[in-house]
Amino acid sequence: MGKIQLQSVTKAFGGVKVIPDLDLDIENGEFVVFVGPSGCGKSTLLRLIAGLEDTTSGTISIDGKDATHLPPAQRRLAMVFQSYALYPHMSVRKNIAFPLKMAGRNKQEIDKRVDNAAKILNLADYIDRRPGQLSGGQRQRVAIGRAIVREPAAFLFDEPLSNLDAALRVGMRLEISELHQRLKTTMIYVTHDQVEAMTMADKIVVLRAGNIEQVGSPLELYTKPRNTFVAGFIGSPKMNLMGGSDAKSHNADMIGVRPEHIDLSQSEGQWKGEVKVSEHLGSDTFLHVQTSDHSEPLTVRAGGEFPVHAGDTVYMTPQQDKIHRFDGKGLALR
């Protein structure tokens, strides 16, 4: 079981309110991702759930029981840190066994569980090495192993992949997703990388300045962003937002069009512009186009190769059914 509920949770450091007032329900077995820009309070929120920070007010309950004032170890949660936080003076085996040792389990059971975790995470080959002798990816696996053996109610991940290089990050992302499917345990994952959020989550919680901007499935957030912040944050490259006559013609104060929802042509279209930068990836072409109608360049994505370069003229037409409309406060109009 791993149902976590936050009710009217606030957190202040001195006079600074980092989390103003927050309610959130996390269902058993869900993979929830907290995402938001740096300093939005996502890590603080995770640490509040973990018990590493005390709440200023409000309640946190785990499986229906009030855990607000329980010490971290008694919340039955396991955490994987960004820095791995392995014990450098212990071997991989001892690192993984540490929580079981603290829980006073007998040696036989500890050995069995450590071997099992090592098998799941392919750690068997370097079980007797020390963390200093491992690569970043291997260290992160050990950290996950240390979390698995406890059989926790939920796993908490605090930006676990940000110290890894790009290729390794993609691999570990898959491994964590597979682990979730295998264990079916609640996972709460903090990241500032919206691609990680979109690919892994059952449910994404978008945070800004300690407030929840929107909660929903990745596709919900992509197709129906609640406001301009979520619209800009989810999706890569980010959505083009524009006001003025374009917005007025759609009865809105602002409209947004994603780069992939603009059709490109070299002969005709609604907006004419000059290519400032072109990025040719083979699978996609990204163009940054300056038009006379918009103050900011528009980002456009074309599938496959689109043969234009900086200085060329292109024409763009937004797909009408994919235009997002927002009011003066930035809230979506439906």
- Considering only 29, 58, 72, 243, the residue that binds other proteins (CB under 8 A) is 72
**242 contacts 291 by C-beta, under 8 angstroms:** no
Toward other proteins, which CB reaches closer, 50 or 316?
A: 50
Kindly report the CA angle at 1 between 198 and 187, in degrees rounded to 5?
Answer: 25
CA distance 10 to 208: 14
| Distance (Å) of CA 17 to CA 11, 22, 113, 211, 215 | 6, 12, 42, 11, 21
Q: What is the 3-state secondary structure (H, E, C) of 35-94?
A: ECCCCCCHHHHHHHHHCCCCCCEEEEEECCEECCCCCHHHHCEEEECCCCCCCCCCCHHH
H/E stretch holding 108: helix 107-120
* Burial class, 149, CB count within 10 angstroms (exposed 0-12 / middle 13-18 / buried 19+): buried
- Considering only 1, 73, 310, 333, the residue that binds other proteins (CB under 8 A) is 73
- Considering only 46, 86, 212, 255, the residue that binds other proteins (CB under 8 A) is 86
Residue 175 CB, shortest distance to other proteins, in Å, is 20
Binding segment toward other proteins, per CB under 8 A, in 81-89, 161-169, 172-180, 216-224: 81-89
If binding means CB under 8 A, how many residues of this protein chain bind other proteins?
22
How many Cβ atoms are within 10 Å of 245's Cβ, its own excluded?
Answer: 8
| 85 scored as a contact of other proteins (CB under 8 A) | yes
Residue 207 CB, shortest distance to other proteins, in Å, is 21
Binding segment toward other proteins, per CB under 8 A, in 70-78, 251-259, 277-285, 291-299: 70-78
Residue 332 CB, shortest distance to other proteins, in Å, is 39
Helix, strand and coil percent figures for the chain, each rounded to 5:
30, 35, 35
| 130 scored as a contact of other proteins (CB under 8 A) | no
**Token pair listed for 299:** 């980002």
The amino acid sitting at 106 is N
Site string for other proteins, 94-113 (x = CB under 8 A): ----xx--xx----------
CA atoms within 13 A of residue 68's CA, in its CB half-sphere: 14
| 286 scored as a contact of other proteins (CB under 8 A) | no
| 46 scored as a contact of other proteins (CB under 8 A) | no
Binding segment toward other proteins, per CB under 8 A, in 74-82, 164-172, 180-188, 225-233: 74-82
Binding segment toward other proteins, per CB under 8 A, in 36-44, 75-83, 265-273, 323-331: 75-83
| 77 scored as a contact of other proteins (CB under 8 A) | yes
| 150 scored as a contact of other proteins (CB under 8 A) | yes
- Considering only 89, 119, 309, 322, the residue that binds other proteins (CB under 8 A) is 89
Toward other proteins, which CB reaches closer, 102 or 124?
A: 102
Residue 112 CB, shortest distance to other proteins, in Å, is 18
What is the four-CA torsion angle of 70, 71, 73, 75, rounded to 10 degrees? 20
Toward other proteins, which CB reaches closer, 105 or 224?
A: 105
Query: Which parts of this chain interact with other proteins (CB under 8 A)?
Result: 50, 52, 71-73, 77-79, 81-83, 85-89, 98-99, 102-103, 146, 150
